[in-house]
Structure 1
Amino acid sequence: MNDRIFNIDYDKLIAWLVPRRIRKVRLHRYLRIVVSGVNFLYQDFRRFRKAKLYELMITPQVCYLERMLNDRYDFTQRRIVIVDSQDKPPFYIYQHAELKPKFISRTTENKPKFIYTAGESGLLQDDFVVLVPAAVSFNANEMRSLVKRYKLAGTRFKIQIV
């Protein structure tokens, strides 16, 4: 759509619509005062339209999510990055320093049972991670709601400070 249809100069409009024989400076000033309320609403409409066009531009693609977050929180250096989470195979629930066995089983059982936490087995794994530098000041709840608004439905994410 042509954006010029939304560009209205009310001073020119007043000059065009007032007949030439009654055009006076005093009448022009009076009509500018009368139209000032409409001009205020027009400027408010233009700001609203610009904000909505920006919101419509943001999609669940990573580049647009990064752009939205950097526009909001880190406009100059643009250091906020979105990365895919790591797919790691599940690991055992012990530390090497504990010197525990790698699996737990009863002596009567033939098969050992491996113990995993839900996060280790990949059940609660996030689909992507938002990496935010520690130098960037942000409200975590606000950032979470912004990402939830624009992310793809059904995807999970985590905000991590690096």
Structure 2
Amino acid sequence: MPAETVPASTQSDGKWRITTVPIGSNALSVAILNGATSKPITYGLTADGWNYSKTQATVEDKRLTLIANLARPGKTTETWEVKCVESAVADTADAIFSALAISGATIQLNVRRAVDNATTHTIGQIADIHTVVVGTRRPQAPVENGVDTVAYTLYPVLPTVNGGVLVA
């Protein structure tokens, strides 16, 4: 028996839901998330299609004659590369991101984890909200026994809301 608690894990397969929410709408509102203007795009992304990274700079705090260099946490940088199954069908990840790349409009992404994808958004669930602008559409090279894919870079325009609680 371990000397410390072993936390339960959650499986990601079938447990993510990424939903686009128009700017100006409350991306934590169940009414908005389950309404006609918000679009789930999770299954339009490839298995490796959500490459999100968050890094933090180090602020050096060197002191005269101190034998150790001190440091403090600096600014964070978020980056995304998303890869979608190529599709001209309306309301798919590719079609939505393509239109946003052309228009330059800002979009909110509600990212919910650890709940079945098929489960509608309900009050009390936890999600992250990313507010981004979508970069240019980049068709990817074909691969043997594969599907056509496209990639986009997402650029944050507001700080991410981590661990937001869904409300009515």
TM-score, structure 2 normalization = 0.27
Higher helix fraction: Structure 1 or Structure 2?
1
TM-score, structure 1 normalization = 0.28
Larger radius of gyration: 1
Higher strand fraction: Structure 1 or Structure 2?
2
